[in-house]
Chain A
Amino acid sequence: MPFYQQQCLNGLTIIGEVIPEARSAAVGFFVRTGSRDETSAESGVSHFLEHMLFKGSKKRDAATVNKDFDKIGANYNAFTSEENTVYYASTLPEYHQDATELLADIMRPSLRSADFEMEKKVIIEEIGMYEDNPGWMVFDHAKKLFFADHPLGNSVLGTTQSVTDLKRDQMVDYFQRRYLASNITLVATGNFDWGKFSAKAEKLCGSWKTGLARRDNIRQTSGSGDFKIIEKETATQQNVVMISPGPPAASPLRYAANLFAMILGDSSGSRLYWALVDNGLAESADCTFHEYDGAGAFYTSFSSDPKKTAKNLDITIKQLYTLIAKGITEEELDQAKSKVLSRLVRSGEKTMNRLLEIGMTWVYLRRYKSIDEDLQAFEKVNLRQIQQLIERYPLLRITTTAMGPLGKLKMPEIPKQPKNTIPQPS
């Protein structure tokens, strides 16, 4: 696939992957900012600001923004994470330029006071919705417990209180600090003309204010190692999340880490599947690897009848221990690779997925990777790299959060890191 890149004089980067046979074209702005870049007084501002962008610019009010997206049949949305805020749209190829203009326009928002107050209500409703869902809430608590004073523990949504207290001026200040041209990447994928697109983009974004958007406190962490139980009497199932340290996004071990997580806790055929789900002990059990700027973590979780929680916790820790002590087999590694291969290819066939994939790769690594390049990197992972991962990251140093009807839960004793591995301080 042809890949292109260029940088505006204000430091805004434009990249694109052209897929001539695609049915659609996608475009998105990737702002390298999120909850980790917030001060405690402005908790929740990144996500709130993401909503506010759709409230319009000098040129468009909120209703016009919505109408203009719908007029071109755009499939569009935005999301905020700990480190990124992304705005994206996919359309039929003939509307790609319109979608680009529209997104670029809302990237310079008016942040009108009346809209600010109205949208605050919506955000508080969104927080309420998540708070009624223990299966979701437990992850927010778990992340906070693991990262402790590390900024990656900041909540993306914030709390009802922190959002209520937010003032428009604080949002304006955050916007001016973070939405600088040098901190933004414009990405396009699919069936579009790079020449026309990049020329238009330069015109639209070339005069945006630039400067230095700093990110503090980029470091690894091994996590607090704490255990916390949060009683929620109204819940039915008990949710448990265990977080262990892992490699950061830029680490060459990220491929091994993804395969490791898949072997331990993929939804089909993984070790946790056979140990907990196949026999009905837990409703679900999985392990996923999350990579961040300078840090990484494995999230191992299960949801079950509270009566089985203690037993399941014990089994999960034993599974983790066995995996670390005895390693994995060649066959398991091949299985995991087959799954990755199939998933990457199928996901990459959708233009929108490609946009998110190449955008994120660029934000974290400042480089482009084709699907085939990614596939090869997974293909190359061998047992030695899995062993390196196990030796480098103390996966048994788990931080555990349990949420549900249980008021008490005894944490089983965690076995020592097996002898053949060399735990290292983070």
Chain B
Amino acid sequence: MNQHLTRQTLEKQVHHHTFENGLTLLMEQMPHVRSAAVNLMVPAGCGLDPATMPGLSSVLSDMVLRGAGKNKSKELSLAMDGIGLDRSCSAGTTHIRLWGGTLARNLPKAIDLFADIILKPLLPKEELDSVKMLAIQDIQSIEDEPKQKVMLALRKNHFPSPLGNDRRGTINGINAITHDALSKFWKKHFRPNGSIISVAGNVEWEPLKDQVEKLFGKWKSTELPAIKLTPGIGGVTHITKETQQLQIGIAYPSVPVGHKEYYAAIGAVNILSGGMSSRLFTEVREKRGLCYSVWATYQNFKEVAAIICYAGTTTEKAQETLDVTIKQIRNMTKGVKEDEVKRLKIGLKSSMLIQEESSSARAGSIAVDWYYLGKIRPLEEVQKSIDSITTKSILEHIKRTNPKEFTVVTLGSKALKYKE
């Protein structure tokens, strides 16, 4: 059964086209679904926020939805709801991402509306104060979510600036934003070159391509700005806050997508924290009952990547949790087992194939491939790369990249001792 399934999956239709103005259109045809998803990425992320206005691109990502083309805010919202288009628009470090999911038959209408949002947003002046109020509340509410707060601080300390910046910005930054600055940012950074539109679902290529060409063909390209990176501060930081639990975040460098050790790095992080038989879950939670939530994950930008770990635990158990977690990371250099590698490979393959059920996941996935690699990896290629993971490739990678020190951030009522 799987043989048949795999063949069927591997033969899927993937298309791409880069228009003259530099805009790339990607599409994956999924004849077995009734839905379609569209993902539109414009290179105007928070990494480009003016120094005095951190949070600007995030505010812009809200403003563009408040009316576009002929539609005022409410009309635009009604038009999208009328075709059952669930959507979101948010700023990341490098891009503003507009996402939408609907029935495949409504996709052309959705793309018409999305084109207006990107190319002809009204950016209504009278709504800016409301949007800023929301942005400030968004920042304030992190105070009520200690886990999120510690992880944001960890990313900021670990990654080079502006990559580790939080898209939300700062309260002062939000207050400083003017309508003029917002329009200028939009004019300057919303451009076809560096933008990606990706579509997945029960969709035909030619009509889609024609529609996108008609809507976006005249969009003028401009030079992409270079982002200057400044190294993160790293080190050990404690944030004092009266909470029941103590939050722990640990980060250390990994290799970016496309690096020859990329799959070995993915293998390594899965041994540490893939399934429930992985090391952190087993050692920290199962054997010692130290916490409910403990995990590690791979996080990346084009230039840099890192392994990010989290554990949340009662203050009294926090020191032991930190010590055991660090020890498990260090122990990786002592060797990995054949059966661990076997399990993680099956896990990776199965999530790769099961992802084929979701048009939304596929639309995101092909865009990510294109952004990092400039191509869409066929499933055979991904499968082969997963097959190539061995105990040896993982161990060599771990030994080569074993960090001298970790970036650590803790949050809670008591600081911990970081020692090795």
Contacts and interface: CB of A to CB of B under 8 A. Distances in A.
Interface residues of B, number: 81
B249 interface: no
Interface string B248-283: 000000000000000000000000001111100110
Contact of A283 (B83, B138, B290, B347): B138
Contacts of B290: 121, 125
B51 interface: no
A283 B138 CA distance: 7
B312 A278 contact: no
B144 A345 contact: no
A1 interface: no
B80 interface: yes
Contact of B289 (A91, A121, A236, A349): A121
A134 B134 CA distance: 19
A265 B292 CA distance: 32
A271 to B, nearest CB: 12
B289 A122 contact: yes
Contacts of A281: 133
A134 B73 CA distance: 32
A126 B312 CA distance: 9
B343 A71 contact: yes
Contact of B86 (A90, A191, A343): A343
B131 A23 contact: no
B158 interface: no
Interface in B204-252: 241-245
A171 B187 CA distance: 64
Contact of B312 (A119, A129, A279): A129
Given A128-B244, A234-B242, A346-B101, A67 B343 contact: yes
Contacts of A126: 292-293
B292 A122 contact: yes
Given A66-B275, A236-B140, A280-B134, A269 B81 contact: yes
B1 A93 contact: yes
B354 A75 contact: yes
Nearest to B36: A346
A172 interface: no
Interface in B123-177: 129-134, 137-138, 140-141, 143-147
A219 interface: no
Interface stretch (A316-324, A334-342, A382-390, A413-421): A334-342
Contacts of A122: 285, 289, 291-292
A70 B278 CA distance: 9
Contacts of A235: 143-144
Contact of B137 (A71, A118, A133, A304): A304
Nearest to A262: B81
Contacts of A94: 1-2
Given A132-B245, A268-B81, A90 B354 contact: yes
A22 B244 contact: no
A374 interface: no
B85 interface: yes
A41 B292 CA distance: 24
B57 interface: no
B86 A339 contact: yes
Interface string A102-128: 000000000000000011111111101
A277 interface: yes
Interface string A344-386: 0110011100000000000000000000000000000000000
B343 A70 contact: yes
Given A237-B140, A268-B86, A92 B353 contact: yes
Contacts of B274: 70
Contacts of A303: 141
Nearest to A281: B133
A131 interface: yes
A426 B18 CA distance: 63
Contact of A342 (B9, B84, B145): B84
Residue from the set A69, A280, A303 with the largest chain B CB neighbour count within 10 Å: A280
Contacts of B147: 129
B360 interface: yes
Residue from the set A274, A282, A334, A335 with the largest chain B CB neighbour count within 10 Å: A335
Interface residues of A, number: 69
A199 interface: no
B315 to A, nearest CB: 9
Interface in B69-95: 73-74, 77-78, 80-87
Given A122-B292, A278-B130, A349-B357, A67 B277 contact: yes
Nearest to A304: B137
Residue from the set B77, B282, B290 with the largest chain A CB neighbour count within 10 Å: B77
A283 B343 contact: no
Residue from the set B101, B274, B357 with the largest chain A CB neighbour count within 10 Å: B357
A21 interface: yes
A132 B146 contact: yes
A73 B386 CA distance: 13
Given A191-B1, A280-B134, A351 B357 contact: yes
Interface in B285-327: 285-293, 312-314, 317
A54 B243 CA distance: 30
A251 B275 CA distance: 40
A268 B80 contact: yes
Given A91-B350, A236-B141, A280-B132, A23 B276 contact: no
Given A92-B353, A118-B289, A128-B245, A343 B84 contact: yes
Given A128-B244, A342-B103, A345-B35, A22 B357 contact: yes
B103 A341 contact: yes
Contact of B9 (A23, A63, A121, A278): A23
Given A94-B2, A268-B87, A346 B145 contact: no
Contacts of A134: 144
A280 B103 contact: no
B357 A345 contact: no
Nearest to A19: B32
Contacts of B278: 70
A304 B106 CA distance: 35
Contacts of B343: 67, 70-71, 73
Contacts of B349: 73, 92
Interface in B337-376: 339, 342-344, 346-351, 353-354, 356-360
A93 B2 contact: yes
Contacts of B130: 278-280
B14 interface: no
A107 B73 CA distance: 52
A202 interface: no
Among all A-B residue pairs, the 7 with the closest Cβ atoms: A342-B84, A280-B133, A73-B350, A121-B289, A70-B275, A280-B130, A73-B346
5 contacts: A66-B277, A73-B349, A126-B292, A129-B147, A129-B312
Interface of B: 1-2, 5, 9, 32-35, 73-74, 77-78, 80-87, 101-103, 106, 129-134, 137-138, 140-141, 143-147, 241-245, 274-278, 281-282, 285-293, 312-314, 317, 339, 342-344, 346-351, 353-354, 356-360
Given A74-B350, A125-B292, A236-B143, 7 more contacts: A70-B276, A120-B289, A268-B81, A269-B81, A280-B133, A305-B137, A341-B103
